[in-house]
Amino acid sequence: MTSTSTTFLHFTDLHVGNQETDSHLYSDTTANILQFKDMLRGLDPKPAFVVATGDLTNQGDLESNRKLKSLMDDLGIPVLYALGNHDVTKSRDGFYEGVLDRTDHGGAYYDHDQLVAGVHVVVLDSTEPAKVGGSLTEAQFDWLNQALTRHPQAPKIVAFHHPPAFENNPKMEWESLRWQDSVKLAEILRGRNVQGILCGHLHSDRVTSWHGIPVIMGLGSHGALDPVLPRSEGIRMLSYTGFGICILRDSGLEVTFAQAPGNRDVLMDYSGEKFKAAMAKWETKSAEAAE
C-alpha cells in the first residue's frame, strides 16, 4: 500500500481589526498575517487548505470580516472557518455577510464539514453571542453524530474555537467548552477516526492528549498568552505570534508550530490585584446565584 500525506495550515485567533479605532486590539494583526504569508512562500509541499479556528476578527464587525476575507482569499486555497467569541460579540451577522456574502442565515450556528484533499474536516461553532466561554447544543451534537458518518474512509480533523475542558473547574469556564459539553463531545468522538482537534482561544501553542486524541491549540496573530504566568493568576499578552503547519499521514498528525519573530514585550496585563478582584466578584455572584 502506498502512503499518503496532506499538508495544511492551522491559523487561529487572527483578530483582524483596526488598531486606530479599537483600543482592545493590541497589535497590528493585519501586518502579522502578512508576515505569516511571507513565511509561507517557501513552504514545500504547498498546503492544500487552511483551517482557521475562530476569533477571526476582534469585534465581529462587517468591515473587519471583509478585510479577513481579502487577506485569506489571496492564499488561493480553501479556508475552512470556525467562529470564536470575538466574532460574535453581538451576533454572527458580520461573519456571514462579510465572509460568506450571506444575509439569510437567521443567526444559525456555523457548523459545516467538507472533504478536502482527502481529509474530512468537521467544523463546529462553539460560540454563543456575547459569551466568552464555549458551549455546544444538543442539536449540534446530533449534527456532529451525522457528520461523522460521512466520508467513512477519510481521516477526520475536528475544528472549533474553544478547547475542551480538560478538568471540571467552574472558575475557569471562560477558557474552554463547558465541562458537561466536553464530556459529551469525548463520547461522540471516540472511535470515529479523528486524527486531531484544532482549536484556539488561549493564544498559546499547546498540545494536549485528550481521550487519545491530540488537541492542538495555536498561538494566532494577535499576541501570546505568557506561558509561565499561572493560569489561576490571570492573563498577560506578549508580543509574538505564529501558526501551525500540519501534515496528516496514514500514521497520524504532525504539527509544526511556526512562530514569527517577536520581541515578547507586554501588550496587555490582566493579572495580580486586578485579576484577583475580578475573581472575587465572580465568586460572590456565583454564590448568590446558587442560593
Q: Which stretch binds Fe ion (CB under 5 A): 39-47, 54-62, 149-157, 175-183?
A: 54-62
Rg (CA), the chain: 18
The Cα-based distances of 25 to 29, 32, 85, 232 in angstroms read 8, 13, 15, 23
For Fe ion, the closer of residues 155 and 220 by Cβ is 220
Give the shortest CB-190-to-Fe ion separation in angstroms.
29
Query: Judged by CB under 5 A, which of 33, 47, 50, 55 binds Fe ion?
Result: 55
For Fe ion, the closer of residues 13 and 226 by Cβ is 13
Under 8 Å CB-to-CB from 23, ≥6 apart: which residues? none
Closest among 138, 155, 161, 139 to 56, alpha carbons compared: 161
What are the backbone angles phi and psi of residue 174, rounded to the nearest 5°?
-65, -20
For Fe ion, the closer of residues 6 and 59 by Cβ is 59
Q: How many residues bind Fe ion (CB under 5 A)?
A: 2
User: Hey, which residues between 18 and 37 contact Fe ion (CB under 5 A)?
Assistant: none
Note whether 87 binds Fe ion by CB under 5 A. Answer: no
114 is written with which cell numbers?
467538507
Residue type, 95: F
161 touches 200 (CB < 8 A) = yes
What is the C-alpha to C-alpha distance for residues 29 and 26, in angstroms, rounded to an integer?
A: 8
Q: What number of H helices and E strands is found in the chain? A: 6, 14
Query: Judged by CB under 5 A, which of 6, 8, 13, 124 binds Fe ion?
Result: 13
Give the shortest CB-138-to-Fe ion separation in angstroms.
27
Residue with CB nearest Fe ion?
Answer: 55
Instruction: Give burial (CB, 10 Å; 0-12/13-18/19+) of 126.
Output: buried
For Fe ion, the closer of residues 7 and 221 by Cβ is 221
Q: Which stretch binds Fe ion (CB under 5 A): 48-56, 122-130, 152-160, 236-244?
A: 48-56
For Fe ion, the closer of residues 55 and 113 by Cβ is 55
Name beta bridge partners: 10.
51, 244
For Fe ion, the closer of residues 87 and 111 by Cβ is 87
Give the shortest CB-58-to-Fe ion separation in angstroms.
8
For Fe ion, the closer of residues 14 and 255 by Cβ is 14
Q: Which stretch binds Fe ion (CB under 5 A): 32-40, 50-58, 72-80, 176-184?
A: 50-58
267 touches 223 (CB < 8 A) = yes
Give the shortest CB-199-to-Fe ion separation in angstroms.
11
Under 8 Å CB-to-CB from 71, ≥6 apart: which residues? 16, 30, 33, 34
95 touches 56 (CB < 8 A) = yes
Q: Which stretch binds Fe ion (CB under 5 A): 49-57, 58-66, 187-195, 265-273?
A: 49-57
Q: Which stretch binds Fe ion (CB under 5 A): 10-18, 70-78, 153-161, 265-273?
A: 10-18
Give the shortest CB-103-to-Fe ion separation in angstroms.
26
For Fe ion, the closer of residues 89 and 114 by Cβ is 89
Binding residues for Fe ion, rule: CB under 5 A, are 13, 55
